[in-house]
Amino acid sequence: MTSLAWTVQLHRRGEEVIYAPNATVYSQNPRTLHDYIGQIGRWYRGTWQVIKLHKIGRSWCRLDAEFIACLGEMYLFIAFMALLPLWLALIPQYILWGAIADQTILFTYTFLVAVRERRVDVLFAFPLFTIPRTLNMLIFTWAYWAERRQPETKWYSVVRE
């Protein structure tokens, strides 16, 4: 079971989940594009499984609202990209303004992170951010449809000795 599923279960039971700012986490970044796609695909499929299992978005409690808000940027980006051909045909003069607004918001976040983390290299990487963002959108959409086609997910606990 993923840490996300555990966290949702704790919230649903009314348990307290706290933020530990000094926690140390070790991770291994994917080394190839294939590994990256696989990792992101597993994360997104797991996210959709948790949404289905815990019926996120149906009760509209605080946890559900926070969960949907976290996914909101991806929803907006998918909607923008899906409507792009229609907008290009109907109102091409506004596409440039939408793209400028999108990149301005993304750059603002990038700048704030660079300042907070004292990492100027993040600013230099900004022009490339659209590539993984678009790739993530495609994987996010694929994971959604892959999980919609699956029967109900069976969760089980590993027996530990």
pLDDT tops 90 at residue 117: yes
Which residue type, as a one-letter code, is found at position 89?
Answer: A
Please write down the long-range contacts of 140-144, taking CB distance under 8 Å and 24 or more positions apart.
Answer: 140/44, 140/74, 140/78, 141/78, 142/41, 142/44, 143/41, 143/44, 143/45, 143/47, 143/48, 144/44, 144/48
Stronger pLDDT, 83 or 153, i.e. the higher one:
83
Rounded average pLDDT over 6-14? 77
Look at residue 60 and tell me whether its pLDDT is greater than 90: no
Instruction: Tally helices (H) and strands (E) across the chain.
Output: 6, 0
pTM over 0.75: no
pLDDT of residue 156: 55
Whether pLDDT at 155 is above 80: no
The per-residue pLDDT for 69 is 81
Question: Where exactly are the structural domains of the chain?
Answer: 3-149
